[in-house]
Structure 1
Amino acid sequence: MVLLGSIVNAAAIIFGSLLGLFIKRIPDRMKNLVTQSISLVIIVIGFTLAMKTNQVLIVVFSLSLGAVVGEWLDIESKLDKLGLFIESKFHSKSEGSISKGFVTSTLLFCVGAMAILGALDSGLRHNHEILYTKSMMDGFLSIILTSTLGIGVLFSAVPVLIYQGFIAIFASFVPNLVTQHLLSSIIAEISGTGGILLIALGLNSLGLIKIKIGNMLPSILFALIIVCFIQFFK
């Protein structure tokens, strides 16, 4: 089953998030320290991914175009409104926490080589080992994230399933259209672009800066488009 790995990954996030919701007795000072620790880890992961790029200009153009389109569409505002709407249904006391948890966890779970490689391996070879490993990591992280950022983390299971599921289905239908060289380039530049977003996300979480990460999300798509465009004209 092509989607098995993606389904298990989404289920692990949901299970971890539900478990995290029951961890209510953690003192605020401890939650703050855990949040800061996670933020630092996110920054380290971001730097690691950002260094994977082979063509810095692709990352620059992807981030620039993505920011322009994202600002024009005002994605951040729409995500906040969606979060507040869901929040009102759950009678959350902390305004904006759902949208913050949703964006933070979605970026963390979707960006990176494991998400891309795992989904591709599921589609090309029906081998789900990479996504099974990622599921264990995401499940553990979702426990910690939910206990600090709230129920918004749980809803990130939906874009994770759609994102990885789409890649897996695409890989299963058109394996002959993607060369190994193109595949490596796509993974490198998406990882590089996503790494920059994760660095910004970590700095935001530490309260050092305030960047509209949601408005920069189209950068990931532009990285894919630019790599394919360059490859087509070579």
Structure 2
Amino acid sequence: MASTRLEINFNRLLNRCEAVASDKSLKDWRLEKYIGALQNQLSELKKAQSKPCDEILSGYTKKVELLKGLIEAEKMPTASEKAHATDLLSVPRTTSSTSGKQLHMQAKVMYQQEMRDELLGSGHTDDEDVGLRQRQKTKDQDIDTVLQHHHQIQEKLAEEMLVIAQGLKHNVTVSGKIVQDDIKKVTDSTRLAETNLGKLKTESERLQAHTKACSWWIWVMLVVVIITFCWMVLLMRLFPKKS
């Protein structure tokens, strides 16, 4: 339910545009201008302070885009292009978008009917029917050629992807072996370092023991030398040399 004057005017214009678009017999050239005005009102509605919630604005936007898309599809030169452009349009999913869904379905049915009329050649002479069938046959052959070409490209891409996958698998295997070898070398180096460290510790303890023993012997020798010196001095005093 509209809560502002701007939203009321917007809904009135939206209903008018949907009514004109649904009645193909009118062919109102002003419909495109109406949709332009509808877009302007929607922009103002989005900027308004008392604007509707985001869900409602999203529904309005999709309705306007659908109307604009239907106008653009109507300008396509062939029925197949019109049908394709109509299929690409986004249809509002809300429960209040029944008119939009009806417009979309109506346009699809109409363009499909035009495509059938073109294929069946309604209203053409026999020569035109033969030419139409020949053109359709040529078109079918062209489609088969394109499909075959696409199939060949897909097979080639599949083969290339298989080769790339095999190459990646080989690289992963080689990399895994290299990593395992590096881990083994690091482990061996660590063990060797631990062994050498143990041996170095043992030799250090042994050297420390030898150093301690040598230190004691040096002190003993020093004491012996001092005692010998003192003894010799004492002897020289006790037995002086005769003159």
Shorter-chain TM band: under 0.3
TM-score between the two structures when normalised by the length of structure 2 = 0.27
Relative contact order: is structure 1 or structure 2 higher (C-alpha 8 Å, sep ≥ 6)? Answer: 1
TM-score between the two structures when normalised by the length of structure 1 = 0.27
Query: Greater CA radius of gyration, 1 or 2?
Result: 2
